[in-house]
Structure 1
C-alpha cells in the first residue's frame, strides 16, 4: 500500500527516485521560462519591425500619392501637360506639395532648360560648328551668323527709314488725287493748283444775289462759245440754285468752280411722275 508507506521510513533508493522526480519539473520550469521570454522578445521585435515597415510603406505611399495629385493639379492647367508631368515629376519630392512651391520649382526647371538651350546654341561650344571641318561649310555658317548679327540694330534703322515714307505718304496721296489726265493741257493743269482761281482766273461769275452778270448757271452756259479751244472758267458763288443744268455737247472746255459743297448747291426738281423721262431728270448733266 503506497499511501501507507509514505508514513513510514522509506529506503534510500526510493528516496533518491522521489527527489529526482521532484527536481525535474523545477528544471523544466526554470529552463522553459527564459525560452518563453526569448520567444516573446523575438516575436515583439519581428512584429515591431514588420509594423514599422508597413507604416513607413503606407506613409511613403500617401506622400507619393499627395505629390502626384499636386503635380497633376498644377500641370492640368498648362498647354503641354505631358512635358509638365515629366519635368516636375522627376524633381519634386514630398516636401514640395504646395502650389507656390511647385510654381517656383517649375520656374527653376524652365530656367534650367533655357540655360541648356543657350549653351547648346553657343557658337563656341556648339557641336554642329565643331563637327564641320570643310572650309566651305564653315564659311557658310559664319555668313549666316554675320547676317543674324546685322539684324541687331535693325529696329532703330527701320524706324528711321520707315518713318519718313509714312509721313510723306499722305501728301503723295493728295498729289495723286490732283493728278490730271494726259490729254489735259499744261495751262489747264495750272488752273487746278492756282490760288484764288475764282477771283483771278474766272471768265464768268454767277451770283444768286445779283452781284454778278448772271443769276443762273443755265443762262451763263448760253453765252459760252461753242467748240472753244480756250478754257472757260465759270465761278458760281455761294447760294442754292434751283435749276436743272445741262451742258450741251457743243460747249467745250467748260470749267465750273464754287465756294464748297455746302455753300454752292444746285437742286433740281424734275421727276418721272411729272411726265419727264428719267434720262432727263438729272440735276446736273451733259
Structure 2
C-alpha cells in the first residue's frame, strides 16, 4: 500500500506538469509556429511562457501586463496561472478599498447602498478566487473532471459577483457607478482570463477523456457505496419522508412555541458554522414574516417544513421603495450544500413595486424539493453556482427566473401571474456575461402555464419564454409542456438587436399548445438542435448531478425524461457556431463537437487547428501527440479505484415520494 501511494504521488506530480505543458501545446492557437529563421530565440523563456498562457484569454494585454509584473522569472505554466489568480485577487481587494472610501462621501442613498453591496459581493468574488487557487494547487488526479468543474463554476461566480456589483447602480445619480466600473475593470478582465485558462485545461482533459472515471468515485476500493460526507443515513431518510416522531431534526422552529425557537433568525444564530456534517432545521407550519440570510458559513444546512403552502417565509422589500434589487430577497441562501424541502418562499410587495426577490440562491450544489417561490418581478434569483430544483412551483410576472447560476429545473410548474396594465410577462432573464461561463437555465419536463390571475388578461397581456439580460444569455427548455399563453415568437428582445447573435436559446421535444416553433424569433442565437447536441444540458452532464444529487434521496432524472422524437428529415438544424462550445474550450471543440454534433457531415463544425508548438523545430501536431502518449502512459501507472458493482447501489432505497403540498 505504501509503495502504491508513493508511486501514485510521484505520478501525480509528473502528470500535473505534463498536463499543464500539454495545455500550452494543444489548447492554444498558434503564435510561435513561424519560420526557423525568425527572431523567436531573442524572446526570453518567461516571456514566451506568458504569451502562451495569455494567448487563450480574451483580454490578452491585461493578462501579459499582470504576469510580467508578477511572474518572478518563472516559465512554469502552473506557476503563471497561480500568479494570475493572485493578481486578480489583489485587484479586487483594491476595488473593495475604493468602494469603502467612496461610501464615506456618497450622498445618494441608493448609490451608498450599492457601494455597500459591492464591498460584500467583491468579498464573495475574492473567496471564490481563493478557493479556486487552493483547489488548483491540489490537482486531484483521480477526479480530474470534477476538479475542473469546481474551478470553472467558482470562477464563473467571481465574474457574476463583480457584474452584480455594477448592476446595483441602476437608477443612481452622479458618477459613482462609472467610478466603480472603472475600479473593477482590470479585475473583471483578469477573472475572465482566469476562466479562459482553466477552460483550456478542461479542453485538454476532455480530448484525453481524462474525466471518465468520475462515477467510480461513488464507491470505495471494495465497491461499497460512498455517500457524500454531508449526507448520513439518518438525514437521508429525513429527506425521503415527512417529519415524524421517529425522526428528530437537530433544531425546531415553531411560531406556536412548541419548538426551541419561535423565529427562524433566532434559530440561525445558534446553528454550528463551517460544518462538514448535515444540520437539519425543521420549521413547523406557520407564516414567518422574516428576512432570512443563510450565510456562506452555514454549510450543509437542510431546512424542512410541513409543506410549501403551510410553512411559508414572507417579506415585501422592493426596488421601488429604495432597496437595491440584490437586497430585496426575502430569503438569501449562500451556504454550500444547502437543501430545502416542503417550504414556501414569498415576496408580497406586488407588481407595482418592480423588482422584489422572494428567493436568492448563491450556494453551490444546492437543492430545492417541493418548494414554492412566489413573487412578481424577479421572483427567483438563480444567482451563482450549481442548483437543482425538483417538483417546485415558481410564480411571477417579469423576468421571474433570472441570474447566472447553472440551474436545472425538473418536473416544476412555472406559473405566469397577472402583471400591471401595459406590462408584458417574461419567464426568464438569464445573465451569462462571459461565453466561457458553464452556466444557464435548463427546464426539463416542466409545465409553463397561466396562473389563475393571468387567465383574466390572457389574450391581452403577452407572455414570453425569456429575453437576453446579458450578452451570452443561455436558456434551454426541453421535454416540457408549454401552454398557449406564450407568444408564437417565444423570445422577446431586451433592447433592439442586443445579443441576437450571442444568446443560446433552444427548445427540444416540448409539447402543448404553445410549443410550436414555426413562428419563433429568427435570431441566430435561437437554435434548432438535434438530440446529441442537447444531451450536454441534461442534469448528469450540466451539473455533474450523478455525483451529488441521487444520494440525497430526492427524485432525480439523470438523462432525458422522455423517448426521443422521431427523426424528421425536414428539420433544419442550426450550424455549430463559435460560441456553442466556448465554455468547453477551443481544444475540446474538435473532440466534444462530434459527441453532440449534427448528424450529417456537412453540418459538422469546421474548426481551425488549436495546436501550438513550443518551438519552431517540430510540427505542432507531432509534439502534441507525444504529450498525449506520455500522458496516457502515465495514467496507466496510477492505481485506480475498484470498479463499481453492477447494481447502482446509490439508487437503492433512496427515492422519496413525489412532493405535495
Q: Which has the higher helix share?
A: 1
Higher relative contact order (CA 8 A, sep 6+): 2
Structure 1 length as normaliser, TM-score? 0.34
What is the TM-score of this pair, normalised by structure 2? 0.15
Give the number of the structure whose residues are more often strand, by fraction. Answer: 2
